[in-house]
Structure 1
Amino acid sequence: MEKVLKNVSFMILILKMCIIFGQETTAQKRIVIDVGHGGKDSGAIGINGIQEKDVVLSIANEVLRLNKELDKPLDIYLTRYNDTLISLFDRTKLAKALKADLFISLHCNHSDNPTARGIEIYVSNDESNHSDNSIWFAFQLQAGFNKKLGFENRGVKFANFKVIRETCNFFPAILVELGFLSNKDDLKYISKPLNKQSIGSAVLIEVNNYLIDEL
């Protein structure tokens, strides 16, 4: 019953957004940040027990907090605001209902190789009208991470992840793997609140740069 109520509430939210946004006349750019996993889906689990779902939610919340401090805050929405499991279908449906101009899915990585480390960014391997912008923003964000955080750059890659596959035909979409929870150095860095703030700041700066270039 609880799952049914959550799904009903989510669909009501989408419906309200469709009505509200359908009445808008402004052309303000919207960014949807997909906060990976949630609820019973913990995602990757770090060597100290830290869970991916909690790391990416805290970073997404830093993006929101920092955005509110801007003179002209961006129009940013999350696919989840708490520890709730939202299906991949509903995540992409929400982004489409919001008529997003940019979609960023946040995750953390894991590997059986404890030396694997660094940030990698994925774009859909499906061709679309937004492929060039997705790739360009992915490289811009990767460069920003490397410059501002000093994270090892694992490059921009192509994949068939559902959230970017289902959105790439509607707006630029990327999936970010924010370091390896299986690597002690990445884990140590990403576990510190101040560093989560730095990651959120880097995301916000590069989103701003991207929107400025697009206008």
Structure 2
Amino acid sequence: MARFLIFLLVLFVPLSAFGSQSDAADASPLIAYNGLLVGDDARARLVIDFDRKPAFNYHYMSNPARLILTLPSTSFSFSADSVEPRGMISDIRYGTTGPGQSRVILTATQPFQLTLAETRENEAGGARLVIDLAMTDAARFQKLIADQAPLRDDQAIALSSKTISNPADADVEKDGFLVAVDAGHGGIDTGAIGEDSKTLEKDITLEFARTFAKKLEEQPGLDAYLTRDSDVYLSLSQRVELARQHDADLFISLHADSLSQPDISGATVYTLSDKASDRLAAALARRENLSNKIAGLETATEPEEVTDILLDLTRRETQSFSINLADRVVESFKGQIGLINNPHRYAGFMVLRAPDIPSILLEIGFLSNPQDEARMQDPAWRDKLIERLVDAVKAYHKPTIADAGE
């Protein structure tokens, strides 16, 4: 399916046109009149509006991880509050660094890669610089540093636009239809705890995820990627970002939650919606979305108009595919794996918010129900559920193959 990369849409009202760009030799300083920094612990976007198109260059530095943007002489007139550090950006500094030169320095909390660096013309005049960063691993970041030319004080300011490849492109070989398998919880986030044998949800989901990924890879034309393959903590946004960096075609998050009503049992499939289908779905979404707070992370809150646009685009581009997948899972489970009443439900699960990947959250069962807990620890039952889940993915994938004429 067609891909589009949407992380954040930032709306500005240009103040005015400030005039045309003159020759570099006698140009007055650029005026940076509007700025905004947004993001979370997996991605960040910096947007700066200028009175005219800026040339720029960039450079990585380590200890700590930093991105240095070099600009011509610039007067920064926007409020510091509009670019206040957040998410993966721990510090931002900007100003004049020498004759005819200014810099913006972004300091990150973790290794990262620049994924977009471009200027766009504003309709009312001037230009906008857009910088996107995404999390990556330490080895990738060190390679980026090693491969770049040494930074010089007189470094040429040459770029007017540069699009950077996906952070994982050089490292990941994708041969087939890739399913991102997400084992819910992990590390300090144990998830639910079983009523009888005190089973930890994070252990159940990891075991199911590993088995599911292995079975998928045994199928011709299907590949799998585990967002986590050990007992580690990942934030909700990191899980989504890892799936996107590996160019996943589907995202399936596995869970085994607990309810206050121990008599409720069976599997449930959830898709994304800004309004929950029922109180049970709403309660589960609230609980799952607390994962970031367990690790002391604050959930990014974007301007209301941005959030509304992102949700709308998510629905229009991926929701029908997510619903299709959910329906396939329910159909495959019927008569084979126990389902709760109305087994396809929907709510505002943060882990399902990738705008370009059809996504579902599967509650394998409920650890608050003794029978469900016992079933989830039975390898034979686990294999049966995984078999039905693989069949659902294959059924979803068939129209894709047919449409491609393969």
| TM-score (normalised: structure 1) | 0.85
> Cα RMSD between the aligned structures?
2.3
**Among residues 197, 200, 216, which one is paired with 1:67 in the alignment?**
216
Q: Is the 8 A contact 2:250 2:359 kept in 1?
A: yes
**Among residues 194, 197, 207, which one is paired with 2:383 in the alignment?**
197
Deviation at 1:77, TM superposition (A): 0.3
Deviation at 1:137, TM superposition (A): 0.9
* 1:46-70 per-position Cα deviation (integer Å, ceiling 9, x unaligned): 1120011111111111113323444
CA shift in 2, pair 1:214/1:153, >3 Å: farther
* 1:67-114 per-position Cα deviation (integer Å, ceiling 9, x unaligned): 3444x2621001000111111121111111111111101101211111
Q: Which has the higher helix share?
A: 1
What's 1:138 paired with?
326
CA shift in 2, pair 1:27/1:73, >3 Å: closer
| Letter in structure 2 aligned against 1:180 | F
| Partner secondary structure for residue 155 of structure 1 | strand
What's 2:6 paired with?
none
Q: Which has the higher strand share?
A: 2
| Letter in structure 1 aligned against 2:169 | C
Deviation at 1:197, TM superposition (A): 1.4
Deviation at 1:30, TM superposition (A): 1.1
Q: Is the 8 A contact 2:268 2:339 kept in 1?
A: no
1:11 aligns with 2:162: no
| Letter in structure 2 aligned against 1:31 | V
Q: Any stretches of 5+ residues in structure 2 without a counterpart? A: 1-109, 113-134, 141-166, 274-310, 402-406
| Letter in structure 1 aligned against 2:252 | I
Q: Is the 8 A contact 2:177 2:221 kept in 1?
A: no
| Letter in structure 1 aligned against 2:246 | L
Q: Distance in 2 between matches of 1:181 and 1:14?
A: 38
Q: Is the 8 A contact 1:67 1:74 kept in 2?
A: yes
Runs (4+) of structure 1 moved beyond 6 Å? none
Give matches, 1:26-175, under 5 Å: 28-47=176-195, 48-70=197-219, 72=220, 74-125=222-273, 126=311, 127-165=315-353, 167=354, 169-175=355-361
Q: Distance in 2 between matches of 1:14 and 1:159?
A: 37
| Partner secondary structure for residue 123 of structure 1 | strand
**Higher RCO (Cα < 8 Å, 6 or more apart):** 1
CA shift in 2, pair 1:14/1:112, >3 Å: farther
Q: Is the 8 A contact 2:255 2:363 kept in 1?
A: yes
How many residues are paired up?
A: 203
**Among residues 355, 367, 389, which one is paired with 1:181 in the alignment?**
367
Report which of the two structures shows the higher radius of gyration computed on alpha carbons: 2
CA shift in 2, pair 1:68/1:93, >3 Å: closer
CA shift in 2, pair 1:100/1:146, >3 Å: same
What's 1:4 paired with?
none
Q: Is the 8 A contact 1:123 1:174 kept in 2?
A: yes
Q: Is the 8 A contact 1:58 1:196 kept in 2?
A: no
Q: Distance in 2 between matches of 1:14 and 1:147?
A: 47
| Letter in structure 2 aligned against 1:164 | L
Q: Distance in 1 between matches of 2:222 and 2:272?
A: 25
| Letter in structure 2 aligned against 1:189 | R
